[in-house]
């Protein structure tokens, strides 16, 4: 039987396990892993948009805030941290479908270029930017952030939300970001990290970590300390490095609440366990009726494992999705 595009994307993506056996410095891995991660996003983007809207990142959340409100507050905070203003040319590294880009561009007036290696997400982002009336100042570049076809010193600032965790080699990813910035310019990178509570001798921790990495296409997560070292190894001066969840989150509303039943609302239905189970069941039926492409329910089940592993990691406190490194390219 002929494979659907979704099944082909799933088959391609499953090769990531093979590629990540190569050393992080291996040229084949550096060139191939981004494409396989992009195939992961070919599989999951529609599910993410259904469950998360246009912004695909967690955020430190305050009691009474919706997920969307907390994401917006975090996005605006990054714009303020970098003191973005009109006439600044800014990069959004791994920009998804453009949710944070539109929020930050509207609030600051900066011209933002979203860099992304997924063509479908870029099309979605371009529609969003056009609808927001920002197409005169903001744009997207289809490129692997490990090797961006732009001159040295192109940008006045850059930021990234939960995207560098997909890089085949973090140090090389930061080196490329360093190259793209002007001297004296700043970067705010928010990303996935293992916390100090993670213990590699603990089998439960290792099992959860493996599921988080495998089902979110984020191989070899770094500890916070390793992350800072990788940023510094590229030449950056680190101004601040902080787990935003530990620092600004609230114990009553942890980040992983976005994936739990207690976050019940109309907009959360696709994210919480009952809604995710329903999605997997309904997509199975739609597939049999040939109303959804073959592979849809496999993808939904796959994402359920990803979400459950993240909740387990969050409950044990061994992982944070919001490790912020604020850094400068020294003068």
Ligand X SMILES: C[S@@+](CC[C@H](N)C(=O)[O-])C[C@H]1O[C@@H](n2cnc3c(N)ncnc32)[C@H](O)[C@@H]1O
Which residues here bind ligand X, judged by CB under 6 A? Answer: 34, 37-38, 41, 55-57, 94-96, 99-100, 115-118, 121, 144-146, 161-163, 166
> Which CB sits closer to ligand X, 171 or 294?
171
Rounded-to-integer distance, Cα 200 and Cα 91, Å: 35
For ligand X, give the closer residue by CB, 107 or 146: 146
Provide the minimum distance between the beta carbon of 237 and ligand X in the complex, in angstroms, as a whole number.
24
> Residue 47 CB, nearest distance to ligand X (Å)?
12
Tokens standing for 74? 């975090």
Residue placing its CB nearer to ligand X in the complex, 127 or 196 = 127
In the block, which residue shows the tokens 């391609």? 12
Report the distance separating Cα 205 and Cα 225, nearest Å: 18
User: Least distance in Å: CB of 268 to ligand X?
Assistant: 17
Give alpha helix (H) positions in 59-165. 67-81, 99-108, 119-131
Closest CA to 155 of 126, 183, 116: 183
In terms of CB distance, is 5 or 237 closer to ligand X? 5
91 or 287: whose CB is closer to ligand X? 91
Helices (DSSP H) in 181-223: which residue ranges? 203-216
Nearest to ligand X of 13, 56 (CB atom): 56
Residue 140's H or E segment, with its range, is strand 139-142
Look-up of token digits 């902080």? 242
Please state the closest distance from residue 213 (CB atom) to ligand X, in A: 14
Cβ neighbour number for residue 265 with a 10 Å cutoff: 10
Residue 47 in contact with residue 280, Cβ under 8 Å?
A: no
The minimum distance between CB 33 and ligand X, in angstroms, equals: 8
Q: How far is the CB of 99 from ligand X (least distance, A)?
A: 5
Find the shortest distance in angstroms from Cβ 48 to ligand X: 8
- The b/e string for 32-54 (b: 16+ C-beta within 10 A; e otherwise) is bbbebbbbbbbbbbebbbebbeb
Nearer to ligand X among residue 131 and residue 288 (C-beta): 131
User: 304 to each of 212, 215, 308, how far by Cα in Å?
Assistant: 11, 9, 6
Strand order in the sheet with 319-328: 139-142, 111-116, 89-93, 155-161, 181-194, 319-328, 237-243
């Amino acid at each position: 039987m002929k494979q659907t595009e979704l099944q082909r994307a799933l088959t391609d993506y499953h090769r990531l396990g093979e590629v990540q056996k190569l050393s992080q410095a291996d040229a084949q891995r550096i060139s191939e892993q981004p494409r396989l991660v992009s195939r992961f996003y070919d599989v999951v983007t529609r599910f993410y948009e259904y469950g998360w809207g246009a912004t695909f990142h967690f955020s430190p959340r305050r009691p009474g805030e919706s997920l969307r409100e907390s994401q917006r507050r975090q996005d605006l905070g990054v714009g303020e941290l970098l003191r973005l203003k009109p006439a600044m040319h800014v990069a959004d590294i791994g920009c998804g479908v453009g949710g944070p880009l539109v929020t930050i561009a509207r609030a600051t007036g900066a011209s933002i270029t979203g860099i992304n290696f997924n063509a479908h997400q870029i099309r979605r982002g371009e529609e969003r930017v056009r609808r927001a009336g920002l197409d005169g100042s903001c744009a997207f570049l289809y490129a692997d952030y490990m090797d961006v076809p732009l001159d040295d010193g192109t940008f006045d600032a850059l930021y990234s939300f939960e995207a560098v965790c997909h890089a085949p080699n973090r140090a090389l990813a930061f080196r490329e970001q360093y190259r793209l910035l002007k001297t004296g310019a700043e970067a705010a990178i928010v990303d996935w990290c293992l916390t100090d509570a993670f213990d590699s001798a603990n089998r439960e921790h290792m099992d959860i970590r493996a599921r988080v990495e495998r089902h979110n296409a984020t191989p070899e997560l770094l500890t916070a300390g390793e992350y800072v070292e990788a940023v510094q190894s590229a030449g950056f001066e680190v101004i601040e490095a902080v787990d935003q969840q530990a620092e600004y989150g609230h114990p009553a509303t942890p980040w992983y609440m976005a994936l739990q039943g207690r976050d019940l609302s109309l907009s959360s239905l696709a994210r919480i366990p009952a809604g995710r189970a329903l999605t997997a069941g309904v997509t199975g039926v739609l597939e049999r009726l040939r109303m959804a492409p073959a592979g849809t329910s496999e993808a939904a089940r796959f994402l359920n494992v990803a979400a459950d592993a993240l909740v387990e990691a969050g409950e044990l406190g061994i992982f944070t999705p919001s490790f912020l490194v604020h850094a400068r390219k020294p003068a």
